């Protein structure tokens, strides 16, 4: 289970998918259900949720994120705006930052 949840995702676009698996792991190890030891089987109700989450991972193969670099994005000939958004709930927190650039020439 842990090996599935610990996907390499440095920019975070897959976080919305991995969050479901991390939440299931948290439920399995928390006081919300009887805490599990590392070698115990999952309760049946969590196994069903886990199977549904695992089947949703196949949709990640359709994800394409182009790598774009702007060498002159931050220059004196451009106007830059920085947008930062964040949100938190009882089970997760997230933040994202966008740099919007306008060429003045």
- How confident is the model over 51-102, as pLDDT tens digits? 888 888 888 888 777 666 555 555 667 788 899 999 998 878 888 888 887 7
Contact 28, 5 (CB under 8 A): no
Q: Give the per-residue pLDDT at 13.
A: 74
Residues 15, 76: Cα–Cα separation, whole Å: 35
Question: How buried is residue 22: exposed, middle or buried, by Cβ count under 10 Å (0-12/13-18/19+)?
Answer: middle
Other CB atoms within 10 Å distance of the CB of residue 83: 9
Mean pLDDT of the chain: 76
């Amino acid at each position: 289970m842990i090996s599935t949840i610990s996907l390499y995702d440095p920019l975070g676009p897959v976080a919305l998918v991995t969050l479901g698996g991390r939440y299931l792991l948290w439920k399995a190890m928390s006081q919300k259900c009887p805490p599990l030891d590392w070698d115990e089987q999952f309760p049946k109700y969590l196994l069903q949720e886990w199977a549904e989450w695992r089947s949703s991972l196949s949709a990640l193969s359709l994800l394409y994120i182009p790598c774009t670099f702007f060498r002159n994005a931050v220059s004196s000939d451009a106007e830059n705006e920085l947008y930062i958004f964040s949100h938190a709930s009882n089970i997760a927190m997230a933040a994202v930052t966008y740099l919007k650039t306008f060429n003045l020439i």
